[in-house]
Structure 1
Amino acid sequence: MSKLPTKKDILNWISENPTQTAKRDIARAFGIRGAARIDLKRILKELEADGHLQKRKKTYRDSDKLPPVSVLSVKGPDADGDLFAYPTEWTGEGAAPRVLLVAKDGDPALAEGERILARLTEVKDEAHAYEGRLIRRIGTNPQRILGIFRKGSEGGRIVPIDKGADKEWRVEPGADDGAKDGELVEAQRSGPKSRMGLPRARVVARLGDPTAPRAVSLIAIHQHGIPDAFPDRVIVEADAHKPAGLKNREDLRHLPLITIDPSDARDHDDAVYAHADDTPGNPGGHVVWVAIADVAHYVTPGSALDNEARKRGNSSYFPDRVVPMLPDRLSGDLCSLHEGVPRACLAVRMVLDAQGNKKSHSFIRGLMQSHASLNYAEVQAAQDGQPNEKCAPLMDEVIAPLYAAYRSARLGREARQPLDLDLPERKIVLDEDGKVASIDFAERFDAHKLIEEFMILANVSAAEELMRLKRPLLFRVHEEPSPEKLEALREVAQASGFTLAKGQVLQTRHLNNLLAQAEGSEFDELINISTLRSMTQAYYFPENFGHFGLSLKSYAHFTSPIRRYSDLIVHRALVSGHGWGDDGLSPQDVETLEATAKHISETERRSMLAERDTTDRYLAAYLSERVGGEFTGRVSGIARFGLFVKLDESGADGLVPLSTLGNEYFRFNADEQTLTGERSNFTLGLGQRVVVRLTEAIPTTGGLALEMLEVEGRKLPRSSARSGGKSGRRKPMTNAKHKAKIKRKVKRSRR
């Protein structure tokens, strides 16, 4: 009998022979027979307990490698058309490895969400870890349906709550999970697709009364798959943490830092302080301090808290609740900068000159103590000469110097010319029962702008500091508008009587000039909304492509690690870069930086959609009692199937279906964003003032249906009117003119 192999020998064998990992294969490889198999079994169990191996039925494998035959979930093609997949099970450290699917002749086309059995080959020096070849398809993830259950004599039906979903689902007897009529349920498709009759589904979860107070946000949370319950291990880990002490930190408790937040703020993760710079070489300059909760101290790489925070990506905010990225023990306590309580922080000290240009910055890992928790309204009132009891003692030392520093920072902002959109923030006010009491437009004070500008300066400093240290980080990237979106904006501007310069490299000052032309006119809101729609979606990425909207070369998110995972990555990079501890960026963080950037960009968009859907449903519920009423508004969107109108009173968007505009045919012009009556020549376009009647409001979907009554003060012409006039905004193109315009565009593009 050969002598027993060492643990290293066994691991090397398994790594080199991934298809021969059963205990019998290992015993045969090392010539182990008889009673010696008991010793081999003991060694394998020790390797398993140490985490080096993972037992799968009767085989062992490296826990950080996939088996040669694996079940994968197809994720869809990337920008280059390559198809990728990820393992449905992954117990290794860090993110699951990516698999490039290599198709053979005759392989079926695979769709996103399909589950397949694939044979894997490990690859080196590639962005993906494996290449996979299809063995067979297993199936797709069951389709999720969220809707209202309607009980029938034989089973029931599910009416989806998704806006625009017109298909109901049939529930067979015994597949309703005991759901009651009118109850909100989650269901999954059951059975094969059928050409006739309703598709079948089975109820998998009962979610209660959809009309109950505060159910609206629950619907959106569930519908968009936002995790809203923390696993027990995450809560246990959070509860075990204690407040950080002064060890290895600079004591900043003497600085009169204060927090300024909305009056209903649920957390306080940033504090500010400013004073005049007494350095002889900087006359009129200021020193600005921004201190941020040190979340990295508590949420360390690879911990249960870290894995859950990365999974969520960010906090999600709704009118009646917040779904936090971190448990309340951290977000509402240890990482919230409460007044009079010592709190761990990362702080940046920035020196500005009299014109608001940042001369220098330095970062500190410290211990601070907020001298006051204030809200925007009371700080602004104090600055305007009406300080309350809380603000009065802080006027000379804290509040007045903050505004003085802000006035300088504003000069720097004006010279930089970031995009200056003016869009009022809509705020849904709920009563004690959770019903909509009113729709308000939040006031915006200089206090808001002060905090915003100091946070931007801190974020710029973090990006520049990590670039100086040559440390990996996640940039906040915002690219310039695409030529197509810019041309669409130019069309809207011209239709409104304004100009947007052409034939030059686009800068934010050009867009600001357009916004200034529209300011105070009847097209003010339209031009602001259209400019916003022309912008690309901001995202996170390890490479720096600048921030167009803020007119900045380098930008990263540093100021909100309680609610954004991106900021936690930046904090860890600063900790590593300055050697402040062993809780900085891990090698795994660095390796998966691009995957993390993609993931949290997606979770951010998920939250935005859920928050928007919630707002739409609350608005529909608020307006449902006013069906039949007349409202003024402005055309905010044009589509082939109708037009969208934004109501003045509430800011809600409703649809005027094309079918309700009369019997005549309306020609849709995508370039000019117009609908033109074939007989009447009446043109409907963006920005027109209209009067509409609310014909339907559906709280469960958030849908509003409208009927057009007047356009620019005139009744809508009937289809029989041959000469029915025009909207007065611009003459619609004939088909010949439209074709000629397209031809000219094609010729120009070919030169």
Structure 2
Amino acid sequence: MARPPRRPQNRTPAGVPDKETLVRFLSEAGEQGKADIARAFGLKGVERRALREMLKELEDEGRLGRRGRRGFVEAGALPPVGVADVVDRDADGELYVQLVKAGEDAPRAVLVPDRKADRGPAPGIGDRLLVKFSRSANGWEARLVKRLDSAGPGRVLGVVRKAARETRIEPVDRRSKDVLVIPQAFADELRDGDLVLATPERGEHRYGPKRGKVIETIGREDDPRAASLIAIHAHGVPTGFSDLVEREAEDQALPTLKGREDLREVPFITIDPADARDHDDAVFAERDEDPKNEGGWIVWVAIADVAAYVRPGSALDREARAKGNSTYFPDRVEPMLPEVLSNGLCSLKAGENRACLAVRMVFSKDGRKLSHRFVRGLMRSHAKLAYEQAQAAIDGQPDDATRPIMDTILYPLWNAYAAMLKGRERRAPLAIESPERRVRMDPEGGIASIEPRVSLQAHRLIEEMMIQANVAAAETLEQRNTPLIYRVHEAPSQEKIFNLADFLQTLGKPWTKGEPATTKRFNRLLEEMRDTPHAEVVNEVVLRSQMQAIYSPENIGHFGLNLDRYAHFTSPIRRYSDLIVHRGLIRALKLGSDGLTDREIAELPAIAEQVTQTERRSMAAERDAMDRYMAAYLADRIGGAFPGRITGVPRFGLFIRLNETGADGLVPVSSLGDEYFVHDDRAHALVGQRTGRRWPLGKTVEVKLVEATPVTGGLLFEMLSDPDPRDPNAAQPRLGVRDRSRHRPGKHARRNR
């Protein structure tokens, strides 16, 4: 507790302070109750009654405010740390918080990101947070310390289930048990199967489910597009744009040639997915006529100049930073920028002038980058091609769009890539195969098919050219001593390497634990296992041994790509990190007045942390949506048999990935047989204690689909295959490693719903 202020010599220590002294004391000491104030000033008896009267007068005069039932503070003050509710969002998308249990004098504070705050979905209106308050030149700010949703109003995304006497909200998160009961008086307008956002009512609920109220109805459970709606709301992915941001976007105009290089005669083309709506990169290649670089190539990569429209400090910039990146679902996109920009002025459409930031790179015939330079220009794409279309042309099947540009554009691109490929092979980036699946929607919005994405040479060509442009951006900014956000990827930890070595030992494949982890060492392992029955499982385990890539202002290199420096430059329409790199280049190369600001440089650590988290938020939402689409696609095939592979071996069962769709589901350990199963973490296997029969990671199996729950994305399987026999070379499992409860066949767990 703060000491009472020094009093004038003519006042006794037990005397009641005057109003100015009392206000100054509360200003310095912060929130204090009446008893605290009395003790601080040594007040007793009638003096305490006089203090109460003075506090009431100061409150009536608006000089003091209440905090809770008993606390007093200087009017308009906030504590250093407090519990607050998110109460409002302004036209710019800024969130505002209000101190809980505060009087009317308590100001609202704008919520600002804190890179040390806990991880998770971005806060939204109604969330309760622990925050640090501070006063700035523009008013009060609150920095997130921790989410307190469980103690506050909280929100539940769920499905309405109506019965004769009760209406419930069942959560779509399969890990949640927060079922809410809606009072019948408020349930009449709800329909069975509605997707809703609900919040628990405050108060104690000692028995039975909590009572709740519906905040918003967002869709229907049986809507084929519900998967993405659920993922968006469950992960707090920001949707839409404020009116101010939309107006700012509509007010933008195409820049003139002033201060730009005219690149409109360079025959750039875009190569993108067939259904792409925005095009943020274009490429062109030609032979280098310099006799000192015989057989070499010049490669141009032009990127949409988003920085020309989204300027630091604008509403567009603030909302783009809050979103961090675009989020992609099979049926929709939640873009980082309004459509008038992302699909308009910033999209490199064929035949239209577009502002760009381009890099001209010179490669030798053996793929070594000899030089590069960046220019801010005005370009015009000469053709828009799909990956499949470009690949078909190179494979001898040109169409009307590709036939006229074979000799002038496509063949030079592929020949330049052949040279660049020599440099890539010498660099030896990590060669893990990570198959992806694609959901195709039918015209009515249903799921037409789920199929593997085919990796074409055209994909790899664009990928390598983008990688080299990203490297050039990082090199230029380093050379110009301009801070930047790197894309970094740490080498696997020692613990992960030891786990990998233990697993490989079970396959009879040695891996020296003390050997440094390099991409060449991993690639050699993958190549040695390529034609063996263990190829897929080794690929899976190597993939799981890798760290996650992140954004950082500190450079530690990119292990997976085997690069010393790397920055994201090529997708500023959909990634805020790339926009920051563009601004850095504009500043470093003096290409305009809209480059990186001093304030942004000071905030780079916070920006890097934020865009890392928004990227993970989007990845989680996209993954959850895919799980739900898979479950919806398979829901009418319950009872069918499917071939698959064991891709995970936790203690509670086996995760199976189906060959046909790539869908993942669970075979509960309770259905595997009438014996105890031991989890062998070194061998990644479940082992029967009595028989020694094994269910190892990577085993090919056949399973029956028992349950598919689209609203949660849960799939439950029953094993149809037999386990592998006892391994005579394996150590005997120790009794009691896992729970000894008896598992009975046919009794399926429900935890995957």
TM-score range, shorter chain: 0.7 to 0.9
**Structure 2 residue corresponding to 1:621, chosen from 616, 632, 643:** 632
Kept in 1: contact 2:153–2:202 (CA 8 A): no
Of the three residues 312, 316, 320, the one matched with 2:327 is 316
Change beyond 3 A, Cα 1:120–1:616 = closer
Task: Establish whether residue 731 from structure 1 lines up as the match of residue 734 from structure 2.
Answer: no
Map of 2:374 onto structure 1: 363
- 1:648 and 2:659 correspond: yes
Q: CA shift at 1:401, angstroms?
A: 0.8
Tell me the residue number matched to 1:280.
291
Q: State the aligned residue count.
A: 645
For residue 461 of structure 1, report the CA deviation from its aligned partner.
0.3
- What is aligned with 1:294? 305
Aligned equivalents of 2:675, 2:627: Cα separation in 1: 31
1:98–1:292 CA distance, 2 compared to 1 (3 A): closer
Structure 2 match to 1:3: none
Distance between the aligned counterparts of 1:501 and 1:680, measured in 2? Answer: 32
Deviation at 1:424, TM superposition (A): 2.4
**2:643 paired residue number:** 632
Q: Tell me if structure 1 keeps the 8 A contact 2:97–2:109.
A: no
Instruction: Quote how far apart the aligned CAs of 1:556 are.
Output: 0.2
Asked if the contact 2:501/2:510 (under 8 Å) is kept, the reply is yes
Deviation per CA, 1:65-93: give whole Å up to 9, x if none: x9553674699xxxxxxxxxx97699999
**Post-superposition CA distance 1:338-359 (Å, at most 9, x none):** 0010100000011111111111
Using a 3 Å threshold, how does the CA distance of structure 1 residues 374 and 169 change in structure 2: closer, same or farther? same
Residue aligned with 1:559, SS: coil
In the alignment, the residues of structure 2 paired with residue 495 and residue 278 of structure 1 have an alpha-carbon distance, to the nearest angstrom, of 56
Which of the numbers 220, 226, 230 marks the counterpart of 2:231? 220
Which secondary structure state, in structure 2, belongs to the residue aligned with residue 465 of structure 1?
helix
| Aligned-partner Cα distance in 2 for 1:372–1:491 | 52
* Corresponding residue number in structure 2 for 1:536: 547
1:60-459 alignment, distance < 5 Å: 67=77, 69=79, 72=82, 95=112, 115=129, 140-176=151-187, 178-459=189-470
User: Quick one: structure 1 residues 175 and 490, their matched pair in 2 at CA, closer, same or farther if it must change by over 3 Å?
Assistant: farther
Is structure 2 residue 486 aligned with structure 1 residue 475? yes
How much does 1:215 deviate?
2.0
| Distance across 1 between alignment mates of 2:129 and 2:181 | 25
Q: CA deviation at 1:558?
A: 0.0
Which consecutive residues of structure 1, in runs of 5 or more, have no partner in the other structure?
1-15, 21-56, 60-65, 76-85, 102-112, 123-128, 715-724, 740-751
Distance, in Å, in 2 between the alignment partners of 1:206 and 1:668 is: 44
2:359 and 2:133 map into 1 onto residues whose CA distance is: 51
Distance 2:145 2:156 in 1: 32
* AA of the residue aligned to 1:507: T
The structure-2 alpha-carbon separation of the partners of 1:499 and 1:132, relative to structure 1 and needing over 3 Å to count, comes to closer
Q: CA deviation at 1:521?
A: 2.9
Range with greater deviation from structure 2 (422-431 or 549-558)? 422-431
Is 1:511 the counterpart of 2:522? The answer is: yes
- More displaced stretch, 520-529 vs 92-101: 92-101
CA distance in 1, matches of 2:267, 2:445: 38
**Are 2:600 and 1:602 aligned?**
no
TM-score, normalised to structure 1's length? 0.80
Secondary structure of 1:235 counterpart: helix
Match of 2:14 in 1: none
Structure-1 separation of matches of 2:366 and 2:520: 19
Give the superposed CA RMSD.
3.3
Q: Could you say if the C-alpha distance between residues 706 and 94 of structure 1 is closer, same or farther in structure 2, counting changes exceeding 3 Å?
A: closer
CA distance in 2, matches of 1:497, 1:139: 49
Q: 1:98 to 1:310 in 2, by over 3 A?
A: closer
8 A contact 1:18–1:68 mirrored in 2: no
- Alignment partner, residue 107 of structure 1: none
Specify whether residues 154 and 302 from structure 1 end up closer, same or farther in structure 2 by C-alpha distance, changes over 3 A only: farther
State the one-letter code of the partner of 2:79. Answer: V
Distance verdict in 2 for CA 1:653–1:69, change over 3 Å: same
Counterpart CA distance in 1 for 2:117 and 2:388 is 54
> Where does residue 513 of structure 2 map in the other structure?
502
Query: Is the deviation greater in 152-161 or in 528-537?
Result: 152-161
Paired AA for residue 732 in structure 2: M
Describe the shift of the 1:72–1:326 C-alpha distance in structure 2 as closer, same or farther (beyond 3 A). Answer: farther
| Cα deviations by residue, 1:261-307 (Å, 9 ceiling, x for unpaired) | 11111110000011111112112111110000000000001111111
TM-score by length of 2: 0.80
Structure 1 contact 496–729 (Cα < 8 Å) conserved: no
Q: Percent of aligned pairs with the same residue?
A: 47
Matched, 1:682 2:693: yes
1:546 aligns with 2:545: no
2:274 counterpart letter in structure 1? S
> Unaligned stretches of 5+ in structure 2?
1-23, 29-61, 65-75, 86-95, 100-106, 119-126, 739-753
1:88-120 C-alpha deviation (Å, 9 max, x unpaired):
69999994678999xxxxxxxxxxx75458786
| Matches of 2:329 and 2:665, distance apart in 1 | 21
Q: Quick one: structure 1 residues 439 and 68, their matched pair in 2 at CA, closer, same or farther if it must change by over 3 Å?
A: closer
CA contact (8 A) 1:185 1:205 kept: yes
